[in-house]
């Protein structure tokens, strides 16, 4: 296990979900730079109220646990990772308060530490939600690897928080310091955004961190054109639901089916719920934040529909997709079906064939392939 050496102590940290041969660390140089600067500049006052935003696997929360920080994140995996790393280091998990990205804590904070998210939309929404929790004395310090900090990132801080400057780069990471300006007129967050799904009357809700939040993704569009129809009374899970568009069209094609929407992003599940309830106010459905299908009973599901992610945070790879396929196999009844869309070059058919013993090509075009495996 890797040791995270920072002025606050030495901590054993792991990424989440845990993998037997994990090659990647659970923190980056931006976390180290933040914690070194907080110690050097003595930014922690006695009994501070500290807010940590977007801590990936709990590196910051673990190092600052003594100060009882509050953590806001949109990721269920980040919450689970924080919990596991606190436990691993013998730290009482009650020292850290975990909040999801739609239920921020009340009150003002003395120190706000932000890991700048990949999505500018998410940063914009978070800065809007942060503003009422600041006062003139609040210290605001953000960080990311240099390649993730653009002039548009800094403009957002300037526009929504106040005067902003950056530090020198250190190990390819940079810090952003912002000063709260109470006089700024910033208006409301533009999120969630809505659009009408082409060819339908359905309006989709898109909270800031949702995949393809401005318009329908081209892969998803291809998937929608080939979804299963009239499966009868079964359970259909939209796994990695994003704004829930796949489950929504599956519900339309399968009027007797019961839909479940699953994602590890709180904003995704809330978006799916709002969109579905607007489209089908009378229809029952379930909405759950979880890692893949871990909380779903074994052999209980008829159909899983899945457009898997090809990255976790900034790490590209098919490790989450593989987890999703494994979990689907476990959750499906005998004879149940997993439908997957992916880029042709990702070779999902090899993994599915290995797991299910079969894999049929339902449709293909220049870029995408839709596959079906039966348990
Ligand atoms: C490519 S997007 C698909 C979104 C939507 N189904 C569509 O087709 O437009 C993949 C989704 O998987 C979700 N996801 C990533 N890791 C996950 C995990 N471990 N468990 C559940 N969902 C996850 C992401 O948050 C994202 O919403």
Question: Considering Cα of 214, then 220, then 225, then 228, what sign does the dihedral take?
Answer: negative
Q: 23-33: per-residue pLDDT in tens?
A: 889 999 999 99
344: CATH: 3.40.50.150
Q: Ligand 1 centroid vs 92 CA: distance in angstroms? A: 31
Report whether 101 contacts 209 (CB < 8 A): yes
Mutation test residue for ligand 1: of 224, 240, 314, the one with most atoms within 8 Å of CB:
240
Report whether pLDDT(315) > 70.
no
> Residue 164 Cα, ligand 1 centroid: separation in angstroms?
33
What mean pLDDT is predicted for residues 193-216?
A: 96
Decide: 265 in ligand 1 pocket, CB within 6 A: yes
Backbone angles phi, psi at 90, to 5 degrees: 65, 25
Distance (Å) from CA 276 to ligand 1 centroid: 17
DSSP state of 117: P
Buried residues in 240-266 as b, exposed as e (16+ CB within 10 A): bbbbbbbbbbbbeebeebbbbbbbbbb
> Domain boundary at 115, 149, 178, which?
178
Structural domain includes residue 46? yes
pLDDT above 90: residue 314: no
The alpha carbon of 367 and the centre of ligand 1 are apart by a number of angstroms equal to 19
- Number of folded domains in the chain? 2
Extended strands (E) in 134-284: 139-145, 164-166, 173-178, 193-196, 203-206, 235-239, 258-263
Tell me the angle at which helices 266-279 and 245-253 cross, rounded to the nearest 10 degrees.
30
Q: Are residues 254 and 328 in the same domain?
A: yes
H helix intervals, the chain: 29-40, 59-63, 76-88, 120-130, 151-160, 218-224, 245-253, 266-279, 319-331, 348-356
What is the predicted pLDDT for the residue at 17? 86
Higher pLDDT, 45 or 132: 132
For position 313, what pLDDT does the model report?
Answer: 64
Domain containing 8 equals: 2-178
Centre of ligand 1 to C-alpha 174, Å, is: 29
Contacts of residue 13, defined as CB under 8 A and 6 or more positions apart, other chains included, come to 1, 2, 3, 4, 25, 26, 27, 57, 58, 59, 62, 85, 88
Which atom in ligand 1 lies closest to the alpha carbon of residue 219?
A: 8
**Nearest residue by C-alpha to atom 27 in ligand 1:** 242
Pick the residue whose CA is nearest to atom 25 on ligand 1: 265
Nearest to 14 by CA among 88, 113, 76, 70: 88
- The stretch 338-359 carries a mean pLDDT of 96
Least confident interval from 118-127, 274-283, 310-319: 310-319
> Are 317 and 223 part of one and the same domain?
yes
Tell me: do 221 and 341 sit in the same domain.
yes
**Confidence band, pLDDT 50/70/90 cuts, at residue 47:** confident
The answer, yes or no, to whether residue 75 has pLDDT greater than 90, is yes
Report if residue 184 sits inside a domain.
no
* Structural domain includes residue 186: no
Q: Are residues 201 and 256 in the same domain?
A: yes
Ligand 1 pocket check: which of 198, 204, 264 to mutate, most ligand atoms within 8 Å of Cβ? 264
Domain end: 178, 201, 223, which one? 178
| Closest by CA position to 171, among listed 8, 27, 15 | 27
pLDDT of residue 21: 80
255 domain-assigned = yes
In a shared domain, residues 299 and 231: yes
Pocket lining: 88 vs ligand 1, CB cutoff 6 Å? no
Give yes or no: residues 174 and 197 share one domain. no
Answer whether 28 contacts ligand 1 (Cβ < 6 A). Answer: no
> Which residue's alpha carbon is nearest to atom 6 within ligand 1?
241
Length, in residues, of the chain? 375
Q: If you average pLDDT over residues 271-287, what whole number do you get?
A: 97
User: Atom 10 in ligand 1: which residue has the minimum CA distance?
Assistant: 309
Q: What value does the mean pLDDT take over residues 328-348?
A: 96
32 Cβ closer than 6 Å to some ligand 1 atom: no
Same domain, 150 and 241: no
Average pLDDT for 351-370: 97
Beta carbon of 211 within 6 Å of any ligand 1 atom: yes
Ligand 1 centroid vs 216 CA: distance in angstroms? 14
Would you report the helix, strand and coil content of the chain in percent, each value rounded to 5? 30, 30, 40
Domain-terminating residue out of 143, 178, 213: 178
Report pTM: 0.97
247 lines ligand 1 (CB under 6 A): no
Assess whether pLDDT exceeds 90 at residue 311: no
Query: What pLDDT is recorded for position 19?
Result: 82
Residues 134-181 have pLDDT tens digits of 999 999 999 999 999 999 999 999 999 999 999 999 999 999 999 999
């Amino acid at each position: 296990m890797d040791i995270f050496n920072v002025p606050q102590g030495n901590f054993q940290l792991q990424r989440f979900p845990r993998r037997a041969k994990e090659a990647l660390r659970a923190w980056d140089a931006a976390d180290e730079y933040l914690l070194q600067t907080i110690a050097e500049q003595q930014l922690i006052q006695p009994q501070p109220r500290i807010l940590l935003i977007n801590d990936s696997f709990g590196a910051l929360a673990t190092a600052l646990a003594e100060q009882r920080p509050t953590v806001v994140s949109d990721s269920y995996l980040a919450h689970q990772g924080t919990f596991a790393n606190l436990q691993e280091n013998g730290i009482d998990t009650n020292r850290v308060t975990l909040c999801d990205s739609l239920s921020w804590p009340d009150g003002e904070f003395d120190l706000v530490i932000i890991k700048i998210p990949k999505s500018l939309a998410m940063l914009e929404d978070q800065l809007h939600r942060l503003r009422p929790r600041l006062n003139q004395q609040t210290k605001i310090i953000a960080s990311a690897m240099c390649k993730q900090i653009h002039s548009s990132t800094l403009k957002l801080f300037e526009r929504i928080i106040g005067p902003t400057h950056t530090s020198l780069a250190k190990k390819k990471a940079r810090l952003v310091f912002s000063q709260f300006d109470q006089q700024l007129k910033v208006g409301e967050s533009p999120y969630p955004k809505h659009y009408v799904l082409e060819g339908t009357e359905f309006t989709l809700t898109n909270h800031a961190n949702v995949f393809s939040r401005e318009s329908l993704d081209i892969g998803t569009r291809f998937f929608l054109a080939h979804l299963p129809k009239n499966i009868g009374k079964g359970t259909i899970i939209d796994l990695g639901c994003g704004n829930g568009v796949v489950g929504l069209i599956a519900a339309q094609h399968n009027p007797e089916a019961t839909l479940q929407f699953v994602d590890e992003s709180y904003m995704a599940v809330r978006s799916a719920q709002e969109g579905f309830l607007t489209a089908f106010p009378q229809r029952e459905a379930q909405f759950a934040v979880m890692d893949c299908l871990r909380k779903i009973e074994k052999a209980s599901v008829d159909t899983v529909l899945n457009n898997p992610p090809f990255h976790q945070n900034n790490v590209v790879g098919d490790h989450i997709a593989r987890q999703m396929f494994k979990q689907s196999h476990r959750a499906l009844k005998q004879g149940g079906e997993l439908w997957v869309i992916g880029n042709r070059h990702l070779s999902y058919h090899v993994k599915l064939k290995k797991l299910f013993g079969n894999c049929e090509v339902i449709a293909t075009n220049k870029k995408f392939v839709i596959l079906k495996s039966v348990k």
